[in-house]
Amino acid sequence: MGALSKAILLFAMNWLDAQLTILWIRLNIATEGNGIMASLLNRGEAPFLSVKLAIGALAAFTLYRCAEIPIARRGMKLVLGIYISLMLVHVATGVSALGWHAPATVLTYFVSLPRAFVAFFS
Protein backbone atom coordinates (compact mmCIF):
# COMPACT_ATOMS: atom_id res chain seq x y z
CA MET A 1 0.00 0.00 0.00
CA GLY A 2 1.43 3.35 -1.03
CA ALA A 3 1.84 6.47 1.05
CA LEU A 4 -1.15 8.18 -0.56
CA SER A 5 -3.43 5.21 0.13
CA LYS A 6 -2.32 5.13 3.76
CA ALA A 7 -2.92 8.88 4.11
CA ILE A 8 -6.40 8.53 2.64
CA LEU A 9 -7.12 5.58 4.94
CA LEU A 10 -5.92 7.59 7.94
CA PHE A 11 -8.17 10.51 7.06
CA ALA A 12 -11.13 8.19 6.39
CA MET A 13 -10.73 6.49 9.77
CA ASN A 14 -10.44 9.92 11.43
CA TRP A 15 -13.70 10.97 9.76
CA LEU A 16 -15.42 7.70 10.72
CA ASP A 17 -14.18 8.08 14.31
CA ALA A 18 -15.69 11.57 14.44
CA GLN A 19 -19.03 10.41 13.05
CA LEU A 20 -19.25 7.40 15.37
CA THR A 21 -18.24 9.52 18.36
CA ILE A 22 -21.08 11.94 17.64
CA LEU A 23 -23.50 9.04 17.18
CA TRP A 24 -22.58 7.31 20.46
CA ILE A 25 -22.69 10.58 22.39
CA ARG A 26 -26.03 11.68 20.93
CA LEU A 27 -27.50 8.24 21.74
CA ASN A 28 -26.14 8.54 25.32
CA ILE A 29 -24.08 5.40 24.86
CA ALA A 30 -20.64 6.93 25.43
CA THR A 31 -18.87 10.16 26.31
CA GLU A 32 -15.99 11.98 24.64
CA GLY A 33 -12.79 11.13 26.49
CA ASN A 34 -10.83 14.16 25.28
CA GLY A 35 -11.82 17.21 27.32
CA ILE A 36 -11.02 19.73 24.58
CA MET A 37 -12.99 17.80 21.98
CA ALA A 38 -15.85 17.32 24.48
CA SER A 39 -16.08 21.08 24.98
CA LEU A 40 -16.13 21.59 21.22
CA LEU A 41 -18.89 19.01 20.86
CA ASN A 42 -20.87 20.81 23.57
CA ARG A 43 -20.77 23.90 21.31
CA GLY A 44 -22.13 21.86 18.40
CA GLU A 45 -21.26 19.21 15.87
CA ALA A 46 -19.80 21.67 13.35
CA PRO A 47 -16.99 22.96 15.61
CA PHE A 48 -16.19 19.40 16.72
CA LEU A 49 -16.09 18.06 13.16
CA SER A 50 -14.14 21.05 11.86
CA VAL A 51 -11.35 20.68 14.40
CA LYS A 52 -11.32 16.86 14.29
CA LEU A 53 -11.14 16.74 10.48
CA ALA A 54 -8.60 19.57 10.28
CA ILE A 55 -6.28 17.76 12.69
CA GLY A 56 -6.76 14.48 10.82
CA ALA A 57 -6.15 16.11 7.45
CA LEU A 58 -3.02 17.86 8.69
CA ALA A 59 -1.64 14.64 10.17
CA ALA A 60 -2.42 12.60 7.05
CA PHE A 61 -0.96 15.25 4.74
CA THR A 62 2.20 15.66 6.85
CA LEU A 63 2.84 11.93 7.06
CA TYR A 64 2.17 11.59 3.32
CA ARG A 65 4.51 14.44 2.36
CA CYS A 66 7.27 13.08 4.60
CA ALA A 67 6.76 9.45 3.57
CA GLU A 68 10.39 9.15 2.42
CA ILE A 69 11.60 9.79 5.99
CA PRO A 70 11.78 6.56 8.01
CA ILE A 71 10.29 8.05 11.18
CA ALA A 72 7.29 9.32 9.20
CA ARG A 73 6.73 5.84 7.74
CA ARG A 74 6.85 4.34 11.24
CA GLY A 75 4.60 7.13 12.49
CA MET A 76 2.05 6.36 9.78
CA LYS A 77 2.04 2.69 10.76
CA LEU A 78 1.68 3.62 14.43
CA VAL A 79 -1.19 6.05 13.83
CA LEU A 80 -2.99 3.59 11.57
CA GLY A 81 -2.58 0.90 14.22
CA ILE A 82 -4.04 3.21 16.85
CA TYR A 83 -7.00 4.08 14.62
CA ILE A 84 -7.61 0.42 13.83
CA SER A 85 -7.72 -0.27 17.56
CA LEU A 86 -10.06 2.68 18.00
CA MET A 87 -12.34 1.30 15.29
CA LEU A 88 -12.50 -1.94 17.29
CA VAL A 89 -13.58 0.08 20.32
CA HIS A 90 -16.32 1.68 18.21
CA VAL A 91 -17.43 -1.76 17.02
CA ALA A 92 -17.53 -3.04 20.60
CA THR A 93 -19.53 0.03 21.63
CA GLY A 94 -22.00 -0.53 18.81
CA VAL A 95 -22.30 -4.23 19.53
CA SER A 96 -22.93 -3.53 23.19
CA ALA A 97 -25.43 -0.77 22.41
CA LEU A 98 -27.37 -3.08 20.12
CA GLY A 99 -27.66 -5.62 22.91
CA TRP A 100 -25.42 -8.29 21.46
CA HIS A 101 -23.72 -9.65 24.55
CA ALA A 102 -21.65 -12.55 23.28
CA PRO A 103 -18.22 -11.42 24.47
CA ALA A 104 -16.42 -14.67 23.73
CA THR A 105 -17.57 -14.70 20.12
CA VAL A 106 -16.86 -11.02 19.60
CA LEU A 107 -13.48 -11.23 21.30
CA THR A 108 -12.42 -14.27 19.27
CA TYR A 109 -13.39 -12.56 16.03
CA PHE A 110 -11.74 -9.24 16.74
CA VAL A 111 -8.55 -10.64 18.23
CA SER A 112 -7.66 -11.98 14.79
CA LEU A 113 -8.29 -8.65 13.03
CA PRO A 114 -5.22 -6.70 14.26
CA ARG A 115 -2.90 -9.38 12.93
CA ALA A 116 -4.64 -9.22 9.57
CA PHE A 117 -4.37 -5.42 9.46
CA VAL A 118 -0.72 -5.42 10.53
CA ALA A 119 0.06 -7.98 7.83
CA PHE A 120 -1.78 -5.80 5.33
CA PHE A 121 0.35 -2.73 6.12
CA SER A 122 3.67 -4.55 6.43
Convert the pLDDT of each residue in 25-46 to its tens digit. Answer: 988 888 888 999 999 999 999 9
Q: Would you say 44 and 51 are in contact if contact means Cβ atoms under 8 Å apart?
A: no
Query: In 3-state terms, what secondary structure has residue 119?
Result: helix
| Length in residues, the chain | 122
Q: CA angle, 96 as apex, 106 and 79 as ends, to 5°?
A: 70
HEC profile of 78-91: HHHHHHHHHHHHHH
Q: Each residue of 47-79: pLDDT tens digit?
A: 999 999 999 999 999 999 999 999 999 999 999
